[in-house]
């Protein structure tokens, strides 16, 4: 190898090394360092989550309309069952944008002929945006009202429902709407996984859930999370945790 080739080779290597190093470091961000948390199994709450229901009591909950101790049933297996007619339950604390984990189980056995009466409940983010809960395993109904629907607004992308009597999970990312006084600045968005499967991909919420007519927004700040009491075959919950996320 001639001296000329050797020198040009070294120059070329230096040029590319120097070039890539300078260019790449310019776009490296080193702070703030993300807080270290302990995450374990997908269904186990990470260390920075707020545990809303751990199977022991209703200490984080009150009845939806009367702010009393919920009359739902706590079971020996660490779950709770909706008692129809006693009303929905809501968290004592209010939330904005959140990551939420909820596990739920529909009823085994004879089904109601009306599809919407088979273990109907729902998770209402900020008391008004419903992620539908229903036994949607071979229980056809209007698709924007089946399990995983943002009720009457967005049908789930797929039906990943398990059989009646099997525990299921929702993992939710909810971005709270933003208002300037009464004016909507930014709508709410949902991303939802049911049993680990993506069923809602950053869908835009059109307003508060309504069963009749079209949804519309009413300006609000942080509000509680509500679990619905809907007349139906029993529905149980367990392992509910939430993480606040910054907007």
Q: Which residues bind Mg ion (CB under 5 A)?
A: 120, 122, 132, 228, 230
Residues 6+ apart with CB under 8 A from 193: 169, 170, 171, 172, 199
Comparing CB distances to Mg ion, the nearer of 79 and 228 is 228
Which residues, in sequence order, are bridge partners of residue 24? none
Q: Which two tokens stand for residue 186?
A: 């930014």
Tell me which residue of 60, 93, 87 sits closest to 72, measured CA to CA: 87
Q: How far is the CB of 124 from Mg ion (least distance, A)?
A: 9
Comparing CB distances to Mg ion, the nearer of 49 and 156 is 156
Q: How far is the CB of 123 from Mg ion (least distance, A)?
A: 9
Comparing CB distances to Mg ion, the nearer of 96 and 145 is 145
Strand bridging mode 197-204 / 189-194: antiparallel
Q: How far is the CB of 74 from Mg ion (least distance, A)?
A: 22
Comparing CB distances to Mg ion, the nearer of 130 and 171 is 130
How far is it, in rounded angstroms, from Cα 185 to Cα 52?
30
Comparing CB distances to Mg ion, the nearer of 128 and 228 is 228
Q: How far is the CB of 57 from Mg ion (least distance, A)?
A: 25
How far is it, in rounded angstroms, from Cα 21 to Cα 15?
10
How far is it, in rounded angstroms, from Cα 68 to Cα 86?
11
DSSP 214: -
How far is it, in rounded angstroms, from Cα 205 to Cα 75?
34
Q: How far is the CB of 40 from Mg ion (least distance, A)?
A: 31
For the chain, the farthest-separated pair of C-alpha atoms sits apart, in whole angstroms, at 91
Element (H, E) at 172: strand 167-175
Comparing CB distances to Mg ion, the nearer of 206 and 209 is 209
Q: How far is the CB of 196 from Mg ion (least distance, A)?
A: 22
| Residue nearest Mg ion, Cβ-based | 122
């Amino acid at each position: 190898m001639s001296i000329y080739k050797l020198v040009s080779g070294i120059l070329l290597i230096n040029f590319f090394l120097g070039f890539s190093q300078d260019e790449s470091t310019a776009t490296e961000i080193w702070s703030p360092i993300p807080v270290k948390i302990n995450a374990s199994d997908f269904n186990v709450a990470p260390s920075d989550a707020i545990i809303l229901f751990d199977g022991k009591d209703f200490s984080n909950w009150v009845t939806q309309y009367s702010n009393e101790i919920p009359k739902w049933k706590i079971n020996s297996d660490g779950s709770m069952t909706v008692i129809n007619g006693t009303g929905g339950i809501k968290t004592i604390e209010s939330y904005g944008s959140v990551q939420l984990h909820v596990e739920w189980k529909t009823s085994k056995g004879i089904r109601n002929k009306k599809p919407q009466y088979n273990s109907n409940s729902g998770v209402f983010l900020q008391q008004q945006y419903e992620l539908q809960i229903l036994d949607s395993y071979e229980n056809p109904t209007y698709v924007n009202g089946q399990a995983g629907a943002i009720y009457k607004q967005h049908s789930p992308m797929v039906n990943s429902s398990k059989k009646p009597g099997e525990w299921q999970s929702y993992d939710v990312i909810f971005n709270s709407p933003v208002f300037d006084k009464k004016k909507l600045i930014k709508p709410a968005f949902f991303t939802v996984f049911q049993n680990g499967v993506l069923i809602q991909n950053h869908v835009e919420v059109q307003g508060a859930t309504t069963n009749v007519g079209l949804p519309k927004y009413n300006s609000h700040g942080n509000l509680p999370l509500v679990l619905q009491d809907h007349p139906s075959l029993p529905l149980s919950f367990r392992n509910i945790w939430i993480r606040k996320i910054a907007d």
